[in-house]
Amino acid sequence: MNKDQVKGSVKAVEGKIQQGVAKITGNETQEAKGLLKEVAGKAQKNYGDAKEIVKDAAKGK
């Protein structure tokens, strides 16, 4: 597991929480920001996953 996978997962969870709080408070702007944060986090995690695949392939796993 690399830092991009961890940071991406954390960011995605933060975004999901931000969306939930925004729904409760009725703040659509914060809800949109939470969605963007979640998507960015998932993208960063996918990037980290790809890095791991390449690293493992280079090692011959």
**Could you give the CA distance from residue 18 to residue 32 in angstroms, rounded to a whole number?**
9
Instruction: Report the domain count for the chain.
Output: 1
Domain residues for the domain of 28 are 3-59
pLDDT attached to residue 60: 86
pLDDT attached to residue 36: 98
Radius of gyration of the chain (CA): 15
pLDDT attached to residue 8: 98
* pLDDT tens by residue, 1-50: 999 999 999 999 999 999 999 999 999 999 999 999 999 999 999 999 99
Q: How far apart are the first and last CA of the chain?
A: 15
